[in-house]
Chains A and B, each alone.
Chain A
């Protein structure tokens, strides 16, 4: 029988993968963004699992808002990325190190 823990562990695996992704791709900004999306997926998984197993709808509501916010966030992130593209004449992400130390 598939219990709550199965789903939780699955989400934990997703989370761990996203962490690895961030750690692995020291220079690749896009993959980092995707890893973060994975992390959000893990989060949503958690919420939905709990919601489902607890028969409590609040978790799903939460996921609903997470998705909404993430959409807005993506829009803004994208806008920034485009600006960056414009300013740096092609995004070579390694050039994004003017601010340091």
Chain B
């Protein structure tokens, strides 16, 4: 049986949308059960479809680039909503839909008690749709549509708890920061359109080479660089690159499934995907790539460090996401786009897994997220523990887990760039290597604090209120199967996917034709990757030991809690800086926002109210009024005065006239 391809694509895209709409509008009518079944069905169809597509693309050479309908015509140019099914998009499809499916299932358990259950399902289905639009688009407009669409859903979901002040603050922040990125993104699209006359990927790529040495009119900047940087600005927003990263930690205000799906596995990687998708353009600008390296490097190391000082379980994972996104960005900057995508994929699985597991812990802890109040949970919830351990190992890059392969590739790429003396190479090497250890520290700090040691949750804490006394009499227990099943299903690829995919990604076989790795990468990475060999060789390289050292440090600190106190005291100022996120939040919240408001108030009161309205509009009215009051006095009431005025009139006219006569 063969399914018509176009129908298949449509089914993939539209089934989440349809289920989202039905659940969204009629959720109140059809009840929770039908709602979640529908949502899951929608995503399931997508997932199955995606795998079929992936299969056909990879093994049957399927390629589709066509239009669905004509979106807009301007002059002689027309823009259509179209689909591009190639290797890159098929891979992304598979990743997105499978994580999404897992999250859908997981949500049944996680959200069971929550208000707005149907709304939640509607949102995540909608998200899936938007993400698919983003991934499958064959042009910039549609890309932007999906781009902003996922942003919207992210906004909605971060603020899912609409009554919670911190949540609705976080979602606004997330949206606005993203908008700053999109500002650049849109301008980049504008430049592309202005120069190539099209927004279709294919056309743009083919035309772009004409502008290799073009410069921006009125400046001395290289056009392509400017375009690349503007577009990357969008990626910085979406993929939370420094300094537009501040929204991501706050986004943890959303329910945990969302953190897994949107803020770890899929949406935040859209920036990475976009750069990979546009690799032909980026390859033309070394400057842009260098900038990406620097941005990624900063993320990778400096934001990773922040993960160490966090106590909120989700925040630790969130900072780790930032750090990993930094890895991907470095890979992009090194021209190793396929590697970035590889890391994207592995990261999607293990980071999704970590979040889901964290969620499972949170359920068990009755929505307590502070790790200082956990500990020793390993024996109560073994599945969660094991899966999370797998995730952490993968994250830390311990062979043979998936993360090892992708991270190792990135390290190699960085080294390669350094070796070739390309700009940013040194920085890249320094940051990626250092952050290997950082990664291990924070991920295992999390594991130890949560699952090992003292059962701190038994301490009586009063912040739950008086009527809640003794609620901890119930032991923490393993989450229901709808929660653990996704954990297990995610743990499998987290552990294994590297084995199967590593070589294909590095040789770019899996993405060939849609992602063009930089020339130096292609020429220098020609050797065949054999996973087993790689794992074995891994133990001869430094990174693995760095990671193990990190784990060791985490363990030592775990065993000697006083060490950390001492350390904190020793580096107090640094600690404060770290705790305050390098003051980046303050920069936005306490500097930019007030300045913007003050500026607005200034313009309003001075410009609008005082100058335009006060002086000009009401001022002229007042002048007329004033004149009116003066001139009415002419009518004094004395008839003689009236007569005098007439006589004066005559005299004026006469004088006027004599001038005429004698002129």
Q: Does B641 contact A (CB under 8 A)?
A: yes
User: Considering only CB atoms and an 8 Å cut-off, how many residues of chain A contact the other chain?
Assistant: 16
- Do residues A32 and B643 form an inter-chain contact, with CB atoms below 8 A? yes
User: Which residues of chain A (16-31) have a CB below 8 Å from chain B?
Assistant: 19, 22-23, 25-29
- Do residues B647 and A23 form an inter-chain contact, with CB atoms below 8 A? yes
A26-B640, A28-B640 known; A101+B647 contact, CB < 8 A = no
- Do residues B632 and A101 form an inter-chain contact, with CB atoms below 8 A? yes
- Do residues B647 and A19 form an inter-chain contact, with CB atoms below 8 A? yes
- Do residues A101 and B633 form an inter-chain contact, with CB atoms below 8 A? yes
A101-B632, A101-B633 known; A96+B647 contact, CB < 8 A = no
State the Cβ distance, B236 to closest chain A Cβ, in Å.
70
- Do residues B639 and A98 form an inter-chain contact, with CB atoms below 8 A? no
- Do residues B643 and A97 form an inter-chain contact, with CB atoms below 8 A? no
| Per-position 1/0 for A37-79, Cβ under 8 A of B | 0000000000000000000000000000000000000000000
Q: Does B636 contact A (CB under 8 A)?
A: yes
- Do residues A22 and B639 form an inter-chain contact, with CB atoms below 8 A? no
Once the chains are docked, how many angstroms separate the CA of A71 from the CA of B133? 100
Once the chains are docked, how many angstroms separate the CA of A25 from the CA of B640? 7
- Do residues B637 and A101 form an inter-chain contact, with CB atoms below 8 A? yes
Once the chains are docked, how many angstroms separate the CA of A25 from the CA of B650? 18
- Do residues A23 and B644 form an inter-chain contact, with CB atoms below 8 A? yes
Q: Does A1 contact B (CB under 8 A)?
A: no
- Do residues B637 and A96 form an inter-chain contact, with CB atoms below 8 A? yes
Chain B residues with CB under 8 Å of A2's CB are none
User: Which residues of chain B (632-658) have a CB below 8 Å from chain A?
Assistant: 632-633, 635-641, 643-644, 647, 650
Chain A residues with CB under 8 Å of B639's CB are 29, 32, 96
Once the chains are docked, how many angstroms separate the CA of A64 from the CA of B632? 41
- Do residues A27 and B635 form an inter-chain contact, with CB atoms below 8 A? no
**Size band of the B side of the interface?**
10 to 19
- Do residues B647 and A99 form an inter-chain contact, with CB atoms below 8 A? no
- Do residues A27 and B638 form an inter-chain contact, with CB atoms below 8 A? yes
Which of chain B's residues has its CB closest to A36's CB? B643
Chain B residues with CB under 8 Å of A28's CB are 640
Which of chain A's residues has its CB closest to B648's CB? A23
- Do residues B637 and A98 form an inter-chain contact, with CB atoms below 8 A? yes
Which of chain A's residues has its CB closest to B634's CB? A101
| Per-position 1/0 for B399-429, Cβ under 8 A of A | 0000000000000000000000000000000
Q: State which of A23, A29, A32, A100 has its C-beta within 8 Å of the C-beta of B637.
A: A100
State the Cβ distance, A101 to closest chain B Cβ, in Å.
4
Q: State which of A19, A26, A98, A101 has its C-beta within 8 Å of the C-beta of B641.
A: A26
- Do residues A22 and B637 form an inter-chain contact, with CB atoms below 8 A? no
- Do residues A97 and B636 form an inter-chain contact, with CB atoms below 8 A? yes
Q: State which of B632, B633, B636, B647 has its C-beta within 8 Å of the C-beta of A22.
A: B647
- Do residues A100 and B635 form an inter-chain contact, with CB atoms below 8 A? yes
User: Which residues of chain A (71-92) have a CB below 8 Å from chain B?
Assistant: none
Most interface-central of B633, B635, B636, B637 (chain A CB within 10 A): B637
Once the chains are docked, how many angstroms separate the CA of A99 from the CA of B637? 6
Chain A residues with CB under 8 Å of B644's CB are 22-23, 26
Determine chain A's interface SS by DSSP, over half rule.
Answer: loop
Once the chains are docked, how many angstroms separate the CA of A32 from the CA of B642? 11
Once the chains are docked, how many angstroms separate the CA of A27 from the CA of B641? 8
Once the chains are docked, how many angstroms separate the CA of A22 from the CA of B640? 7
Which of chain B's residues has its CB closest to A28's CB? B640
Which of chain B's residues has its CB closest to A94's CB? B638
Once the chains are docked, how many angstroms separate the CA of A28 from the CA of B641? 11
- Do residues B640 and A27 form an inter-chain contact, with CB atoms below 8 A? yes
Once the chains are docked, how many angstroms separate the CA of A66 from the CA of B647? 21
Once the chains are docked, how many angstroms separate the CA of A80 from the CA of B559? 119
Which of chain A's residues has its CB closest to B631's CB? A101
Which of chain B's residues has its CB closest to A96's CB? B639
User: Which residues of chain B (113-141) have a CB below 8 Å from chain A?
Assistant: none
Once the chains are docked, how many angstroms separate the CA of A98 from the CA of B626? 23
Once the chains are docked, how many angstroms separate the CA of A23 from the CA of B642? 10
- Do residues B636 and A32 form an inter-chain contact, with CB atoms below 8 A? no
State the Cβ distance, A24 to closest chain B Cβ, in Å.
9
| Per-position 1/0 for B483-495, Cβ under 8 A of A | 0000000000000
State the Cβ distance, B550 to closest chain A Cβ, in Å.
93
Chain A residues with CB under 8 Å of B640's CB are 22, 25-29, 32
Which of chain B's residues has its CB closest to A101's CB? B632
Which of chain B's residues has its CB closest to A99's CB? B637
Once the chains are docked, how many angstroms separate the CA of A23 from the CA of B646? 10
- Do residues A26 and B638 form an inter-chain contact, with CB atoms below 8 A? yes
Which of chain B's residues has its CB closest to A97's CB? B637
Chain A residues with CB under 8 Å of B635's CB are 100-101
Once the chains are docked, how many angstroms separate the CA of A101 from the CA of B644? 16
Which of chain B's residues has its CB closest to A22's CB? B643
Q: State which of B632, B638, B650 has its C-beta within 8 Å of the C-beta of A97.
A: B638
User: Which residues of chain B (327-348) have a CB below 8 Å from chain A?
Assistant: none
Once the chains are docked, how many angstroms separate the CA of A43 from the CA of B475? 123
Once the chains are docked, how many angstroms separate the CA of A22 from the CA of B642? 10
Chain B residues with CB under 8 Å of A94's CB are 638
State the Cβ distance, A52 to closest chain B Cβ, in Å.
25
Q: State which of B636, B643, B647, B650 has its C-beta within 8 Å of the C-beta of A100.
A: B636
Once the chains are docked, how many angstroms separate the CA of A29 from the CA of B650? 20
User: Which residues of chain B (611-639) have a CB below 8 Å from chain A?
Assistant: 632-633, 635-639
Chain B residues with CB under 8 Å of A101's CB are 632-633, 635, 637
Chain A residues with CB under 8 Å of B637's CB are 96-101
Chain B residues with CB under 8 Å of A26's CB are 638, 640-641, 644
Which of chain A's residues has its CB closest to B629's CB? A101
State the Cβ distance, A76 to closest chain B Cβ, in Å.
16
Chain B residues with CB under 8 Å of A32's CB are 639-640, 643
Chain A residues with CB under 8 Å of B633's CB are 101
Once the chains are docked, how many angstroms separate the CA of A96 from the CA of B638? 7
Once the chains are docked, how many angstroms separate the CA of A61 from the CA of B580? 109
Which of chain A's residues has its CB closest to B636's CB? A100
Chain B residues with CB under 8 Å of A98's CB are 637
Once the chains are docked, how many angstroms separate the CA of A29 from the CA of B639? 8
Chain A residues with CB under 8 Å of B632's CB are 101
Chain A residues with CB under 8 Å of B650's CB are 19
State the Cβ distance, A88 to closest chain B Cβ, in Å.
14
State the Cβ distance, A80 to closest chain B Cβ, in Å.
12
Which of chain A's residues has its CB closest to B650's CB? A19
Chain B residues with CB under 8 Å of A22's CB are 640, 643-644, 647
Complex A-B, nearest 10 residue pairs according to Cβ-Cβ distance, in ascending order: A100-B637, A97-B637, A101-B632, A26-B640, A22-B643, A101-B635, A19-B647, A100-B635, A23-B644, A22-B647
Q: List 6 A-B contacts (CB under 8 A).
A: A19-B647, A29-B639, A96-B639, A98-B637, A100-B637, A101-B635
Contact surface of A with B, Cβ cutoff 8 Å:
19, 22-23, 25-29, 32, 94, 96-101
Contact surface of B with A, Cβ cutoff 8 Å:
632-633, 635-641, 643-644, 647, 650
Given A19-B650, A22-B643, A97-B637, 11 further pairs, Cβ under 8 A: A22-B640, A22-B644, A23-B644, A23-B647, A27-B638, A28-B640, A32-B639, A96-B638, A96-B639, A100-B637, A101-B635
